[in-house]
Amino acid sequence: MEAIVRNKLITLDFFETNIKVDLERLKLKIDDMDSLPMDIVYSDRIIDAYLKNNVYIDSTKDEILNYLGNPLYYCSRNIISRKINNSNLYLDFLCYNHEQNILPNGTINRSLGHNNDVREFEVHQVLSGSIFSIIKLENNELYVGIFKKGDYFEIPPGAFHCSYILEGPAIVANFYCNAYWECDIQSKPYFVNKNDITVEKNGESFVLKTRDSNKNYNFHIDSLTELDNNSLFKPYKELFVSGILKKNYSAEQKNIFKLFNSDILNSNS
């Protein structure tokens, strides 16, 4: 079942897990768990990074300052936790703002983007909507992928990653170990390295732009088109071909909440 949106209430039946997101009351309800509070992350974080030259958006300073105060996403952090190989593992829930004009000039909504430690273990699953994600390894190799409802994507240790919202409402759950920021969101390493990629909506397609290139790359929600077989970008699946990633979680468990509590993870870290 696709997500149902009525005003500020989003309901979703995700592989036998019932999810209700109340964006007015800032409450999250998952099955019979107690209601959880949600926090708002605003566009101010992206705009501040832009002003410090740590984020690229094809805009002027005067233009972008008109977009302060827009919600990027709503989140509940550390909603469940467990031990795995003597490390703590936490699961977060994010609902991205699917309204238009959050950022200027057709720039689509996005995550903040951050680096992982070389000891980090992080896995995402898209519960609703479609996202485009970039992953940058320590050797600067760039991998890209489009992920839709039910798709998992894992972030290699030591890599940078950022997600861009192609279709909403985009809802993502992800789990990670507390390798070096101890589940303290204020210590999470956002904007440590520059993110020189932005994505804009252009009619029914999207345009990827990079700060240091005059070339734009067009792609569609169902195809990476110009990004495929491009020397700058490699498809996400190549991370498995090269052996950087090994586990196909979707083949073992379709639901990240059930995966999180399963024995499948015991052999990973």
pLDDT higher than 60, residue 5? yes
Q: 205-219, pLDDT tens digit by residue? A: 999 999 887 788 999
Domain assignment present for 71: yes
For 185, the 3-state DSSP assignment is helix
- For residue 269, being part of any structural domain is answered with no
Kindly report whether the global pTM for this prediction surpasses the value 0.85.
yes
* CATH number for the domain that contains residue 169: 2.60.120.10
Q: Strand (E) positions, 190-238?
A: 197-202, 205-210, 216-219, 233-235
Which whole number is the average pLDDT over 225-237?
83
Q: Assess if residue 4 is contained within a domain.
A: no
The Cα 257–Cα 75 span in angstroms is: 16
Residue range of the domain that includes 123: 41-263
160 falls within a domain: yes
How is residue 259 written in tokens?
Answer: 């995966």
In a domain, residue 17? The reply is no
- Any domain includes 137: yes
Residue 105 Cα distances to 50, 114, 198, angstroms: 14, 24, 11
User: Could you tell me which residues come within 8 angstroms of residue 243 by beta carbon, excluding any fewer than 6 positions away?
Assistant: none
Asked if residue 210 belongs to a domain, the reply is yes
Q: What is the pLDDT of residues 99-114, one digit of tens each?
A: 878 999 999 999 999 8
Q: Are 175 and 91 in contact (CB under 8 A)?
A: yes
How many structural domains does the chain have?
1
